[in-house]
Amino acid sequence: MTENLHLLLPEILLASLAIVVLCMDLVLPKRCKSFLAWISVIGLCGILALSLALLRGEEQLLYGGLVRADAYSLYFKVLFLVLGGVFILSSADYVKKQLESPGEFYAIVLLAILAMIILASAVELLTAYIALELMSFSFYTMVAYARNNPKSNEAGVKYILIGAFSSAILLYGISLLYTAIGVTRFGEIEAELAAAARVTPILWIGLGLILVGLAFKIAAVPFHMWAPDTYEGAPLPVTALLSVGSKVAAFALILRLVSQAFAPSIDQWQILVAVLAAITMTVGNVVAIPQKNYKRLLAYSSMGQVGYMLLGIAALSSISAEALLLYLVGYSITAMVVFVGLIAFFNMTGSEEIHDLGGLADSHPFIAASIAIGLLSLAGLPFFAGFTIKFYLFTAAATQGFLWLAGLGMVNSLISLYYYLMVVRQMYIEPAPKWAQEGDTTHHLVQEGQASENSSYTSQSTLITVILTLLLLGVFFIGVYPFPLMGAIKAASNAIMPMS
């Protein structure tokens, strides 16, 4: 086992980085704690470079088949490390103004990223479960991190109760599966399912409970009841990471699980996942329409995106796997554009209401344009990443016999365009709120108990501007010319579906 320990060096260094940041938070004076964000990002960049140098071309099972170092795990490792760096930098101003103990916060973020990376590498159910729980516990803490905010406390309690319930369902499903076939490694599960003589009702119940437990984690309808309140109550940067990071990590696990373990039983679960996708995308997009709080709107919007992603799982094939891998990257970049823009808006105003976005195009045209482009990309308009990733995904589903589901996805994209345009209309047509027109720049912050001496409706972080610019370039790059990504995507797809 020790001869390939070096292949886990990025994970070991990431855990060490979290501990270092946490310890530095204890000794640094308050005026220097803003450097912890940069220390975290520099560490992530170093780990990213090491991962590319160390793991490119590797194809090995580690520690008796618990985790796998391959192109698939490297693909998501790069994505999560980049996502973590963007998240930490974009949330630095928010953390400085709104939260205490920044070192603790960044350390928890790094642990969440570590859990995401392990999820993408796991090829054994209990290993995946432990990684999923590490990610979940990190989010439980981050959601309730604003200790002086009652909404944050309430969201944390709701999230941990529903999360514990879903974890129990998932673990019970794993135990039933082990009772039925006596194995938990993905490859061995696939072999047992291929042997029809070994199939028992207990096995099917176990598989069903595993799918239900994972559906809770991704907030698929009807297992979504925790998401809106949790998104609304959590600190805004945490909402961003919860909407993007947790979804992508969960689908990294689900795609490997269904392709390398549950594929022989696809006829039994395929239609269930297809129906789940249809219900999730429809409910998410329809219920988003009346929302007045942009965090709740994005919660339901993310459910619609989950429905599209489940479409790729239902139409399981090499083509749909490649389309889903592209979709996860495009969605990550697009959603971060929207959230980073909203974080900048919140830093200036402290508002979480859609109607307070009025006049943003006049006062801060770049932020308004960034949010608008991100929303239109999520809707799937041409020249943006959202159009390309949906085109690939819907085409893959149609070629696998799910033409009706691809058509429903297009209808839901039109529905989502309506409520996204309502937000764009608020920024570009509606006037600024009265408190902004009167020059009361801290009115809303004081009203919410979140005033900061640095708060200003006219200030804008240069760092946020740079991050938004890079993310926007990514949105246009994937939307117009995604082909440079396809080499990595095909390698990752072939790693989990070698017969493709």
Q: Residue 199 has what pLDDT? A: 64
457 pLDDT higher than 50: no
Averaged pLDDT, 332-345 = 93
SS3 (DSSP) at 460: coil
Residue 124, C-beta contacts closer than 8 angstroms, at least 6 positions apart: 65, 66, 67, 184, 185, 186
417 pLDDT higher than 60: yes
Q: Residue 286 has what pLDDT? A: 94
b/e burial code for range 100-116 (CB count within 10 A of at least 16 → b):
ebbbbbbbbbbbbbbbb
1 pLDDT higher than 60: no
SS3 (DSSP) at 216: helix
Average pLDDT, the chain: 87
Q: Which of 455, 425, 430 is nearest to 442 (CA)?
A: 455
Confidence of residue 498 (pLDDT cuts 50, 70, 90): low
Q: Residue 152 has what pLDDT? A: 84
Confidence of residue 156 (pLDDT cuts 50, 70, 90): confident
95-109, 365-379, 443-457 — most confident range: 365-379
DSSP assignment of 92-141, as one string?
A: HHHHHHH-S-HHHHHHHHHHHHHHHHHHHHB-BHHHHHHHHHHHHHHHHH
Confidence of residue 412 (pLDDT cuts 50, 70, 90): very high
Domain ranges of the chain: 262-500
Q: What is the pLDDT of residues 422-437, one digit of tens each?
A: 999 999 987 877 656 5
Radius of gyration of the chain (CA): 22
Confidence of residue 305 (pLDDT cuts 50, 70, 90): very high
Averaged pLDDT, 23-46 = 86
Q: What is the pLDDT of residues 78-88, one digit of tens each?
A: 999 999 999 99
62 pairs with which residues across the strands? Answer: 67
Q: Is the dihedral of CA 410, 416, 422, 424 positive or negative?
A: negative
Cβ-based burial of 189 (10 A; exposed 0-12, middle 13-18, buried ≥19): buried
Averaged pLDDT, 246-269 = 89
Q: Residue 500 has what pLDDT? A: 43
Angstrom distances, CA of residue 144 to CA of 103, 141, 239, 345: 16, 5, 11, 22
Q: Residue 451 has what pLDDT? A: 41
Q: What is the pLDDT of residues 306-322, one digit of tens each?
A: 999 999 999 888 898 99
Amino acid in the structure at residue 277: A
Averaged pLDDT, 466-488 = 91
Q: Residue 437 has what pLDDT? A: 59
Measured in Å, how far apart are the chain's first and last C-alpha atoms?
31
The Cα–Cα gap between 434 and 314 comes to: 49
